[in-house]
Protein backbone atom coordinates (compact mmCIF):
# COMPACT_ATOMS: atom_id res chain seq x y z
CA UNK A 1 0.00 0.00 0.00
CA UNK A 2 1.29 3.47 -0.81
CA UNK A 3 2.20 5.59 2.19
CA UNK A 4 2.55 9.33 2.06
CA UNK A 5 5.61 10.45 4.01
CA UNK A 6 4.52 13.51 5.97
CA UNK A 7 7.16 14.04 8.62
CA UNK A 8 10.68 15.32 8.29
CA UNK A 9 13.34 12.64 8.19
CA UNK A 10 14.91 12.36 11.63
CA UNK A 11 18.60 13.09 12.01
CA UNK A 12 20.41 9.80 11.62
CA UNK A 13 23.86 8.91 12.89
CA UNK A 14 26.41 7.56 10.38
CA UNK A 15 25.98 3.90 9.37
CA UNK A 16 27.45 1.53 11.93
CA UNK A 17 30.66 -0.22 10.93
CA UNK A 18 29.58 -3.69 12.08
CA UNK A 19 26.71 -3.85 9.56
CA UNK A 20 27.40 -3.70 5.83
CA UNK A 21 24.52 -5.74 4.45
CA UNK A 22 21.03 -6.21 5.89
CA UNK A 23 18.72 -9.04 4.94
CA UNK A 24 14.96 -8.63 5.25
CA UNK A 25 12.55 -11.56 5.27
CA UNK A 26 9.22 -10.53 3.75
CA UNK A 27 8.40 -7.89 1.14
CA UNK A 28 5.02 -6.90 2.58
CA UNK A 29 3.97 -3.65 4.18
CA UNK A 30 6.48 -3.84 7.02
CA UNK A 31 9.27 -5.44 5.00
CA UNK A 32 9.23 -2.79 2.28
CA UNK A 33 9.10 -0.01 4.87
CA UNK A 34 12.12 -1.40 6.72
CA UNK A 35 13.98 -1.85 3.42
CA UNK A 36 13.20 1.78 2.56
CA UNK A 37 14.68 3.30 5.73
CA UNK A 38 17.64 0.90 5.93
CA UNK A 39 18.71 1.54 2.31
CA UNK A 40 18.15 5.28 2.69
CA UNK A 41 20.52 5.22 5.68
CA UNK A 42 23.29 3.87 3.45
CA UNK A 43 23.14 0.10 3.95
CA UNK A 44 22.94 -2.54 1.23
CA UNK A 45 19.65 -4.43 1.53
CA UNK A 46 18.57 -7.83 0.21
CA UNK A 47 14.89 -8.68 0.46
CA UNK A 48 13.72 -12.28 0.54
CA UNK A 49 10.16 -13.26 -0.34
CA UNK A 50 8.45 -16.35 -1.74
CA UNK A 51 7.60 -14.53 -4.95
CA UNK A 52 9.68 -12.12 -7.00
CA UNK A 53 6.44 -10.33 -7.90
CA UNK A 54 6.04 -9.38 -4.23
CA UNK A 55 9.54 -7.89 -4.24
CA UNK A 56 8.86 -5.94 -7.44
CA UNK A 57 5.64 -4.58 -5.94
CA UNK A 58 7.53 -3.60 -2.79
CA UNK A 59 10.22 -1.86 -4.82
CA UNK A 60 7.52 0.11 -6.65
CA UNK A 61 6.05 1.22 -3.33
CA UNK A 62 9.48 2.26 -2.05
CA UNK A 63 10.12 4.26 -5.22
CA UNK A 64 6.78 6.09 -4.93
CA UNK A 65 7.35 6.88 -1.27
CA UNK A 66 10.87 8.12 -1.97
CA UNK A 67 9.46 10.31 -4.74
CA UNK A 68 7.10 11.86 -2.20
CA UNK A 69 10.03 12.55 0.09
CA UNK A 70 11.86 14.22 -2.81
CA UNK A 71 8.80 16.37 -3.59
CA UNK A 72 8.71 17.52 0.04
CA UNK A 73 12.40 18.33 0.08
CA UNK A 74 13.18 15.61 2.63
CA UNK A 75 15.67 13.78 0.40
CA UNK A 76 17.37 14.59 -2.90
CA UNK A 77 17.01 12.93 -6.29
CA UNK A 78 20.50 11.57 -5.77
CA UNK A 79 19.47 10.04 -2.43
CA UNK A 80 16.51 8.38 -4.10
CA UNK A 81 18.54 6.86 -6.92
CA UNK A 82 21.27 5.64 -4.55
CA UNK A 83 18.70 4.14 -2.18
CA UNK A 84 16.99 2.14 -4.93
CA UNK A 85 20.35 0.84 -6.17
CA UNK A 86 21.10 -0.53 -2.71
CA UNK A 87 18.00 -2.78 -2.66
CA UNK A 88 18.10 -6.19 -4.36
CA UNK A 89 16.09 -9.42 -4.38
CA UNK A 90 17.21 -12.57 -2.54
CA UNK A 91 15.34 -15.53 -4.06
CA UNK A 92 16.55 -17.97 -1.39
CA UNK A 93 17.92 -17.94 2.14
CA UNK A 94 21.32 -18.85 0.69
CA UNK A 95 21.49 -15.31 -0.71
CA UNK A 96 21.45 -13.95 2.86
CA UNK A 97 24.60 -15.85 3.82
CA UNK A 98 26.82 -12.76 3.88
CA UNK A 99 24.34 -10.51 5.69
CA UNK A 100 25.53 -9.01 8.98
CA UNK A 101 21.97 -8.53 10.24
CA UNK A 102 18.75 -10.23 9.13
CA UNK A 103 15.38 -8.74 10.10
CA UNK A 104 12.40 -11.10 9.89
CA UNK A 105 9.22 -9.23 8.89
CA UNK A 106 6.93 -12.12 7.99
CA UNK A 107 3.30 -12.55 9.01
CA UNK A 108 2.47 -12.36 12.73
CA UNK A 109 2.25 -16.12 13.20
CA UNK A 110 4.68 -17.86 15.54
CA UNK A 111 4.70 -21.16 13.65
CA UNK A 112 5.54 -19.35 10.40
CA UNK A 113 8.36 -17.42 12.04
CA UNK A 114 9.83 -20.51 13.69
CA UNK A 115 9.80 -22.36 10.37
CA UNK A 116 11.60 -19.42 8.72
CA UNK A 117 14.30 -19.38 11.40
CA UNK A 118 14.82 -23.15 11.16
CA UNK A 119 15.42 -22.89 7.41
CA UNK A 120 17.35 -19.61 7.54
CA UNK A 121 19.90 -20.15 10.32
CA UNK A 122 22.03 -22.82 8.59
CA UNK A 123 22.77 -20.30 5.83
CA UNK A 124 23.85 -17.41 8.07
CA UNK A 125 27.42 -16.71 9.05
CA UNK A 126 28.15 -17.46 12.70
CA UNK A 127 28.48 -13.84 13.80
CA UNK A 128 25.34 -12.55 12.06
CA UNK A 129 22.67 -10.94 14.22
CA UNK A 130 19.04 -11.97 13.81
CA UNK A 131 16.06 -9.73 14.66
CA UNK A 132 12.31 -10.19 14.52
CA UNK A 133 9.89 -7.40 13.74
CA UNK A 134 7.18 -9.24 15.67
CA UNK A 135 4.68 -6.92 17.31
CA UNK A 136 3.59 -9.31 20.06
CA UNK A 137 5.31 -12.73 20.17
CA UNK A 138 7.83 -13.70 22.87
CA UNK A 139 11.40 -12.89 21.83
CA UNK A 140 12.69 -15.50 24.27
CA UNK A 141 10.63 -18.24 22.59
CA UNK A 142 11.53 -17.13 19.08
CA UNK A 143 15.21 -16.84 19.99
CA UNK A 144 15.17 -20.35 21.45
CA UNK A 145 14.03 -21.67 18.07
CA UNK A 146 17.25 -20.38 16.45
CA UNK A 147 20.88 -21.47 16.68
CA UNK A 148 21.86 -18.03 18.06
CA UNK A 149 19.56 -16.90 20.91
CA UNK A 150 22.38 -14.74 22.28
CA UNK A 151 22.45 -12.79 18.99
CA UNK A 152 18.66 -12.64 18.62
CA UNK A 153 16.57 -9.56 19.47
CA UNK A 154 13.18 -7.99 18.87
CA UNK A 155 13.17 -4.84 16.71
CA UNK A 156 9.57 -3.74 16.38
CA UNK A 157 9.31 -1.01 13.75
CA UNK A 158 6.10 1.01 13.68
CA UNK A 159 3.87 1.19 10.60
CA UNK A 160 4.37 3.08 8.28
CA UNK A 161 8.09 2.67 8.85
CA UNK A 162 9.33 5.68 6.82
CA UNK A 163 7.07 7.98 8.85
CA UNK A 164 6.97 6.58 12.37
CA UNK A 165 9.82 7.57 14.67
CA UNK A 166 9.75 4.70 17.13
CA UNK A 167 11.44 1.31 17.26
CA UNK A 168 10.70 -0.94 20.24
CA UNK A 169 13.73 -2.98 21.30
CA UNK A 170 12.98 -6.21 23.15
CA UNK A 171 15.64 -8.55 24.43
CA UNK A 172 15.00 -12.20 25.17
CA UNK A 173 16.37 -13.88 28.27
CA UNK A 174 19.41 -15.06 26.30
CA UNK A 175 20.10 -11.85 24.34
CA UNK A 176 23.66 -10.68 25.03
CA UNK A 177 24.46 -7.09 26.03
CA UNK A 178 26.53 -6.63 22.87
CA UNK A 179 23.58 -7.67 20.68
CA UNK A 180 21.32 -5.20 22.48
CA UNK A 181 23.89 -2.39 22.19
CA UNK A 182 24.47 -3.04 18.49
CA UNK A 183 20.75 -3.21 17.73
CA UNK A 184 20.28 0.15 19.46
CA UNK A 185 23.16 1.72 17.52
CA UNK A 186 21.81 0.33 14.25
CA UNK A 187 18.28 1.64 14.87
CA UNK A 188 19.64 5.07 15.81
CA UNK A 189 21.68 5.11 12.59
CA UNK A 190 18.33 4.94 10.77
CA UNK A 191 17.20 8.10 12.54
CA UNK A 192 14.84 6.19 14.83
CA UNK A 193 14.12 6.69 18.52
CA UNK A 194 14.27 3.67 20.83
CA UNK A 195 11.82 2.52 23.50
CA UNK A 196 13.00 -0.51 25.47
CA UNK A 197 10.31 -3.04 26.39
CA UNK A 198 10.44 -6.10 28.58
CA UNK A 199 9.58 -9.38 26.87
CA UNK A 200 5.89 -9.51 27.81
CA UNK A 201 3.04 -10.24 25.37
CA UNK A 202 2.59 -7.40 22.81
CA UNK A 203 5.34 -5.31 24.46
CA UNK A 204 4.41 -1.62 25.09
CA UNK A 205 2.70 -0.12 22.06
CA UNK A 206 0.38 -2.99 21.16
CA UNK A 207 -0.28 -3.88 24.81
CA UNK A 208 -2.01 -0.47 25.00
CA UNK A 209 -3.16 0.14 21.40
CA UNK A 210 -4.74 -3.19 20.40
CA UNK A 211 -7.05 -3.54 23.41
CA UNK A 212 -8.34 -0.05 22.57
CA UNK A 213 -9.02 -1.14 19.00
CA UNK A 214 -10.62 -4.36 20.24
CA UNK A 215 -12.87 -2.30 22.56
CA UNK A 216 -13.86 -0.10 19.61
CA UNK A 217 -14.87 -3.26 17.73
CA UNK A 218 -16.91 -4.40 20.77
CA UNK A 219 -18.56 -0.95 20.74
CA UNK A 220 -19.57 -1.57 17.13
CA UNK A 221 -20.56 -5.21 17.84
CA UNK A 222 -22.85 -4.16 20.68
CA UNK A 223 -24.50 -1.43 18.63
CA UNK A 224 -23.29 1.48 20.76
CA UNK A 225 -22.27 3.32 17.59
CA UNK A 226 -21.72 2.78 13.89
CA UNK A 227 -18.34 2.63 12.14
CA UNK A 228 -18.29 6.31 11.18
CA UNK A 229 -19.63 7.47 14.55
CA UNK A 230 -16.98 5.53 16.48
CA UNK A 231 -14.13 6.82 14.32
CA UNK A 232 -15.46 10.38 14.37
CA UNK A 233 -15.87 10.27 18.16
CA UNK A 234 -12.24 9.25 18.70
CA UNK A 235 -10.83 11.63 16.09
CA UNK A 236 -12.68 14.68 17.37
CA UNK A 237 -13.26 13.68 20.99
CA UNK A 238 -9.82 12.25 21.80
CA UNK A 239 -7.83 14.09 19.09
CA UNK A 240 -6.64 10.84 17.50
CA UNK A 241 -5.32 11.35 13.96
CA UNK A 242 -7.19 8.24 12.78
CA UNK A 243 -10.27 6.49 14.15
CA UNK A 244 -9.70 3.06 15.76
CA UNK A 245 -11.64 1.12 13.10
CA UNK A 246 -9.88 2.95 10.27
CA UNK A 247 -6.60 2.23 12.05
CA UNK A 248 -7.51 -1.46 12.39
CA UNK A 249 -8.08 -1.62 8.63
CA UNK A 250 -4.70 0.04 8.08
CA UNK A 251 -2.88 -2.39 10.39
CA UNK A 252 -4.72 -5.43 9.00
CA UNK A 253 -7.51 -7.17 10.87
CA UNK A 254 -5.62 -10.47 10.80
CA UNK A 255 -2.70 -8.81 12.57
CA UNK A 256 -5.05 -7.21 15.10
CA UNK A 257 -6.58 -10.62 15.83
CA UNK A 258 -3.15 -12.28 16.14
CA UNK A 259 -2.00 -9.70 18.68
CA UNK A 260 -5.20 -10.01 20.72
CA UNK A 261 -4.85 -13.79 20.73
CA UNK A 262 -1.27 -13.47 22.01
CA UNK A 263 -2.48 -11.14 24.77
CA UNK A 264 -5.46 -13.34 25.66
CA UNK A 265 -3.43 -16.55 25.78
CA UNK A 266 -0.28 -15.03 27.28
CA UNK A 267 -1.91 -13.05 30.10
CA UNK A 268 -4.94 -15.30 30.73
CA UNK A 269 -7.23 -12.32 31.30
CA UNK A 270 -10.72 -12.15 29.78
CA UNK A 271 -10.36 -8.42 29.15
CA UNK A 272 -8.13 -9.34 26.20
CA UNK A 273 -10.67 -11.69 24.58
CA UNK A 274 -10.83 -10.88 20.85
CA UNK A 275 -14.20 -9.46 19.84
CA UNK A 276 -16.30 -12.07 17.95
CA UNK A 277 -16.91 -9.48 15.22
CA UNK A 278 -13.17 -9.16 14.64
CA UNK A 279 -12.95 -12.95 14.33
CA UNK A 280 -15.86 -12.96 11.85
CA UNK A 281 -14.25 -10.33 9.62
CA UNK A 282 -10.97 -12.26 9.53
CA UNK A 283 -12.79 -15.51 8.75
CA UNK A 284 -14.51 -13.72 5.85
CA UNK A 285 -11.14 -12.59 4.50
CA UNK A 286 -12.08 -8.96 5.09
CA UNK A 287 -8.70 -7.90 6.45
CA UNK A 288 -8.80 -4.17 5.80
CA UNK A 289 -7.05 -2.07 3.20
CA UNK A 290 -4.87 -4.89 1.90
CA UNK A 291 -7.94 -6.87 0.80
CA UNK A 292 -10.02 -3.78 -0.07
CA UNK A 293 -12.62 -4.61 2.60
CA UNK A 294 -12.64 -4.45 6.36
CA UNK A 295 -14.67 -2.09 8.50
CA UNK A 296 -14.68 0.04 5.37
CA UNK A 297 -15.08 -0.98 1.73
CA UNK A 298 -12.24 0.59 -0.27
CA UNK A 299 -13.25 -0.60 -3.73
CA UNK A 300 -15.02 2.62 -4.73
CA UNK A 301 -13.87 6.20 -5.04
CA UNK A 302 -14.35 6.78 -1.29
CA UNK A 303 -14.29 4.32 1.65
CA UNK A 304 -17.78 3.21 2.71
CA UNK A 305 -18.56 1.55 6.08
CA UNK A 306 -19.38 -2.15 5.79
CA UNK A 307 -21.54 -2.16 8.90
Q: What local confidence, expressed as pLDDT, does residue 13 receive?
A: 75
Catalytic residue among 156, 159, 214, 258: 156
Answer yes or no: 71 catalytic: no
Q: What local confidence, expressed as pLDDT, does residue 14 receive?
A: 76
Catalytic residue among 135, 189, 197, 258: 135
The pTM (predicted TM-score) of the whole model is 0.89
Answer yes or no: 188 catalytic: no
DSSP state letters, the chain: ------SPPPPPPPPPTT-SEEEEE--SHHHHHHHHHHHHTT-EEEEE-S-HHHHHHHHHHHHHHHHHHHHTTSS-HHHHHHHHHTEEEESSGGGGTT-SEEEE---S-HHHHHHHHHHHGGGS-TT-EEEE--SSS-HHHHHHTSS-GGGEEEEEE-SSTTT--EEEEEE-TT--HHHHHHHHHHHHHTT-EEEEE-SSTTTTHHHHHHHHHHHHHHHHHTTSS-HHHHHHHHHHHS--SS-HHHHHHHH-HHHHHHHHHHHHHHH--GGGPPPHHHHHHHHTT--BGGGTBSSEE-SSSS-EE--
Q: What local confidence, expressed as pLDDT, does residue 5 receive?
A: 40
Q: What local confidence, expressed as pLDDT, does residue 6 receive?
A: 41
* pLDDT of the chain, 307 residues: tens digit per residue: 334 344 344 456 778 999 999 999 999 999 999 999 999 999 999 999 989 999 999 999 999 999 999 999 999 999 999 999 999 999 999 999 999 999 999 999 999 999 999 999 999 999 999 999 999 999 999 999 999 999 999 999 999 999 999 999 999 999 999 999 999 999 999 999 999 999 999 999 999 999 999 999 999 999 999 999 999 999 999 999 999 999 999 999 999 999 999 999 999 999 999 999 999 999 999 999 999 999 999 999 999 999 9
Q: What local confidence, expressed as pLDDT, does residue 241 receive?
A: 95
Q: What local confidence, expressed as pLDDT, does residue 93 receive?
A: 96
Answer yes or no: 150 catalytic: no
Answer yes or no: 156 catalytic: yes
Catalytic residue among 104, 108, 168, 246: 168
Q: What local confidence, expressed as pLDDT, does residue 178 receive?
A: 97
Q: What local confidence, expressed as pLDDT, does residue 11 receive?
A: 59
Amino acid sequence: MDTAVKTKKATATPPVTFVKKVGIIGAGQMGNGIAHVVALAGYNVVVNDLKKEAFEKALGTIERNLARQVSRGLVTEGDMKATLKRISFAPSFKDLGDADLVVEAATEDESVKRKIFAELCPHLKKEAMLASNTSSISITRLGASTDRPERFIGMHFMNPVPVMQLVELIRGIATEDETFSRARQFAESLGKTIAVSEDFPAFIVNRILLPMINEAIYTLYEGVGGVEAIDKAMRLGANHPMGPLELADFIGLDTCLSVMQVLYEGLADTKYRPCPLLVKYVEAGWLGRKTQRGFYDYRGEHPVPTR
